Structure 1
Amino acid sequence: MKSGRVFLIIGIVLVSLFAIGGCSYNKMVSMEESIDAQWAQVQNQYQRRYDLIPNLVNTVKGYASHESEVFEQVTEARSKAGGVINIDSSVLDDPEAFDKYQKIQSELGTSLQRLMAVTESYPELKANQNFLALQDELEGTENRIATQRMRFNEAVQSYNKYIRGFPRNMFAGMFGFEKKSYFAAGTEAQNAPKVEF
């Protein structure tokens, strides 16, 4: 009789653990899929920016042909990013690869800022309708990138918080769910810009 109760209690505990583990596993899969979907949206916006750059550079070149150093920087940054624009979400599980990817995208953004700064010296360029349209497209894309990165970070935060909570952390480890990396501000954003008059 006592052994029957013991087996019953062990059975209830095992069924409970199986149910909790199954629910936790399904939730972790769902959250990981949300991260992958959000990653695809970030990639989509980076691709859009990448596609706009040649048109922007060619328009500015027509007015500022002697700014070759800036054009070279933008072209070089774009070519670096070209090999890593659309990479699969496996980069999210490799912090080094994720940091490298983030650095390349940051360099591309910085070179675009330099290109836009050059345009300030050319009033006729700033009045050109093609340039204005491209500038609006680029500004809109940069805003979309920021929004998608924020949404990505929110999805990562929810996922990381979920898999680190007890008892889910045991199931996460058992099933191979690991903490994901966040997008972070570049090192240049850590310093206040110098303003000179």
Structure 2
Amino acid sequence: MSFGNIILLIIVGVIGYLIAIYNKFVSLRAGIDAAWSDIDIQLKRRYNLIPALVDTVKGYKEYEAGTLEKVIQARQAGLDARSIEEKAAAANMLTGTLGKLFALAEAYPDLKANTNFLDLQNQLSHIEDTIQNARRYYNAIVRDYNTKVHSFPDLFIAQKFNFTERDYFELDENEAAAVKTMPKIDL
């Protein structure tokens, strides 16, 4: 084999390697977008249950209007959010207000025994679990992608083709506490 053929093989190998790096970035980016779509769908499901929950609670004359208003405001903030950061903040706020609403329901035995309320609470609990699982998957893909963006020699391809770091969908401390206190109802 001649020296020219060896150089040609090396060049082809390097080009193939660079193409593989680029394709991995594209694959990870598509995975992030798909994972975010899963989270977004679950957040919308949760937001769609809120009006029914509020109506159920309003049926009780002793409800706390301030708590319901905060739930409604948190829902609207989630619907209005556009970026991942805004959606994460709105989701955290809604989880906190829902935790307060469910804690409030503990003080009203009639409400706590209402089958519609229990069903909505169970559905929300299930959606919370689904969101948590989707968030873990999303954050794992973002971690892999962000690591690749900063790894050598992949960072050269990332810079050349504008693959930039992605944000995590994080659980803040208030949401973590609210999720822990949100009662699980098995029907």
Change (3 A) 1:113 1:190: closer
Give the Å deviation of 1:189.
5.5
Select between 154-163 and 117-126 the one with higher mean Cα deviation.
Answer: 154-163
- Counterpart in 1 of 2:134? 148
- Counterpart in 1 of 2:28? 31
Change (3 A) 1:122 1:66: closer
Equivalent position to 2:152, from 166, 175, 179: 166
Query: In 1, Cα distance between the equivalents of 2:36 and 2:102?
Result: 27
Equivalent position to 2:46, from 31, 49, 60: 49
Unaligned runs of 5+ in 2: 178-187
Aligned-residue identity in percent: 35
Q: Secondary structure at the match of 1:160?
A: helix
- Counterpart in 2 of 1:17? 14
List 4+ stretches of structure 1 deviating above 4 A: 7-10
Give the Å deviation of 1:176.
1.2
Unaligned runs of 5+ in 1: 92-97, 192-197
Give the Å deviation of 1:13.
3.8
Equivalent position to 1:129, from 115, 134, 152: 115
Give the Å deviation of 1:28.
1.0
TM-score normalised according to structure 2 size? 0.85
**Matched residue count:** 176
- Counterpart in 2 of 1:139? 125
Query: In 2, Cα distance between the equivalents of 1:36 and 1:58?
Result: 34
Deviations 1:38-90 (A, max 9, x none): 00000011001000000011111112544111111111111111112xx5xxx
Q: CA RMSD in A?
A: 2.1
TM-score normalised according to structure 1 size? 0.81
Equivalent position to 2:171, from 179, 182, 185: 185
